[in-house]
Amino acid sequence: MLSTQRLCLGLALVWLSACEQQTQQTPHTPEKVVQYANQLERVKKTGILTVLTRYDPTTYYEGANGFSGLEYDLVQLFAQHLQVKTHFIIPDTFAAILQKTQAGDADFAAAGISITEERKQKFLFTPAYHKVTEQVIYRSGIKQPRKISDLANGILEIVKGTSHAESLLTLQQKTPELQWLTNDSLDTDGLLYLLNERLIDYTIADSNQITLIRRFYPKLNVAFNISPARYLAWAFRKSDDLSLYNEAVVFFNNIKNNKALEQLLERHYGHTRNIKYVGNCTFRLHLQSHLPQYQAMLEHAADKYAFDWRLLAAISYQESHWNKDAVSPTGVKGLMMLTQATASQLGVKDRTDPKESIFGGALYLKQRLKKIPARIPEPDRT
């Protein structure tokens, strides 16, 4: 019995000794923490620029050809300047964007943020890249409000955390009857939808937002402005480390001087100068009644000549409003409004035949594009 106990004790000691040796042979090495001299160095060394933004036609959205939006394009230009890639964070609410910026959850926020005195206490702003005004929006079918006190006659709802609340608080001092609701789950686009559906009576939107979104809601109108001009800029949290912020300031000065900013603004907002209420309503009507009968032809022509079919659809609408029998005073005819000479050159025998006109127009566009210098990229090329 004793010998058995000694044997077990000996085996246990051998096992413990082996474990101790194994532990000694593979010591734990803590993960090495990488230290960077400053924020700019970290971004360049990691190769990632992390940016807070929001889904909105004025900032960041996914279109037919990938992501787009003024803020998206500006951030991509800045990333090219730094020679890094981008990573976007999309919080659920506008208020969360400001909170996360202050908390340092990203390098900065590019979300259509207007510079206000209150925000300047919390953030560092880059040079402004766009000017907007805050506007009261209402729907056709109700009496247009013409002054602040008129808003007390209906339901006014705004997005929580925006500068719109600051403006309304200032106005409320002279108009105590002014009241409003704040929504912490919807953005401006969502409130404009509610307004269009007659679920609220008024909301506030920045002028650039209503300019772009009104094409989807042609019955929404601007009543009046409630603020002077405000300026949009990127927001950085206040910190002793100004390395990335200073680089952003240099970047904005550069794109203002070389006209790159002007070109971006023209790309995103230039087309809106020609949008009128009646034309927009007519377009929506034609979209339902005219386009379906030609869509398959447009898609086939687009496949043949390597175009987005919507480009051909847009061209044909601009030319003829999708009217196959359209004739201009100068004699051009058909969906693509081809001249007799151009039609002959393209082999189009009947300009009023929708298929011939569409395929002829697509071929003509292809020929014209070949004459544009290769140095001009998309989307400016088309």
Residue extents of the structural domains in the chain: 39-130+232-271, 134-228, 277-370
CA distance 103 to 353: 62
Confidence of residue 314 (pLDDT cuts 50, 70, 90): confident
Q: What is the CATH number of domain 277-370?
A: 1.10.530.10
Q: Is the pLDDT of residue 5 over 50?
A: no
Quick: pLDDT tens for 6-43: 444 443 444 444 444 443 444 455 556 678 999 999 99
Nearest to 112 by CA among 164, 180, 172, 44: 164
CA distance 377 to 382: 9
CB 171 within 8 A of CB 148: yes
Amino acid symbol at 346: L
Choice among 6-15, 76-85, 356-365 with the minimum mean pLDDT: 6-15
* Mean pLDDT (whole number) for 276-300: 71
Nearest to 119 by CA among 231, 213, 209, 205: 231
Q: How far is CA 368 from CA 1, 338, 344, 361, in A?
A: 103, 14, 16, 11
CA distance 171 to 178: 8
Q: What is the SS3 assignment for 251? A: helix
Looking at domain 39-130+232-271, which CATH architecture does it have?
3-Layer(aba) Sandwich (3.40)
- Residue 263 burial (CB < 10 Å; 0-12/13-18/19+)? middle
CB 107 within 8 A of CB 79: no
Higher-pLDDT residue of 339, 82: 82
The mean of the pLDDT values for the chain is: 84
CB 53 within 8 A of CB 90: yes
Q: What is the SS3 assignment for 128? A: coil
Quick: pLDDT tens for 150-187: 999 899 999 998 999 999 999 999 999 999 999 988 88
- Residue 7 burial (CB < 10 Å; 0-12/13-18/19+)? exposed
Radius of gyration of the chain (CA): 30
Q: What is the CATH number of domain 134-228?
A: 3.40.190.10
Catalytic, out of 71, 134, 157, 319? 319
Choice among 138-152, 250-264, 360-374 with the minimum mean pLDDT: 360-374
Q: What is the SS3 assignment for 258? A: coil
Q: What percent of the chain has pLDDT over 90?
A: 50
Q: What count of Cα atoms within 13 Å lies in the side-chain half-sphere of residue 244? A: 30
CA distance 105 to 229: 30
Quick: pLDDT tens for 91-110: 988 999 999 999 999 999 99
Give, to the nearest 10 degrees, the angle between helix 243-257 and helix 260-269: 80
Q: What is the pLDDT of residue 245?
A: 98
* Mean pLDDT (whole number) for 200-205: 96
Q: What is the pLDDT of residue 331?
A: 65
* Mean pLDDT (whole number) for 291-314: 89
Q: What is the pLDDT of residue 329?
A: 52
CB 295 within 8 A of CB 335: no
Domains 39-130+232-271 and 134-228 share a fold: yes
Q: What is the pLDDT of residue 216?
A: 78
**Which pair of tokens denotes residue 299?**
């898609």
Alpha carbon 24 to its chain centroid, in Å, reads 57
- Residue 19 burial (CB < 10 Å; 0-12/13-18/19+)? exposed
Catalytic residue flag (residue 157): no
* Mean pLDDT (whole number) for 285-310: 84
CB 279 within 8 A of CB 215: no
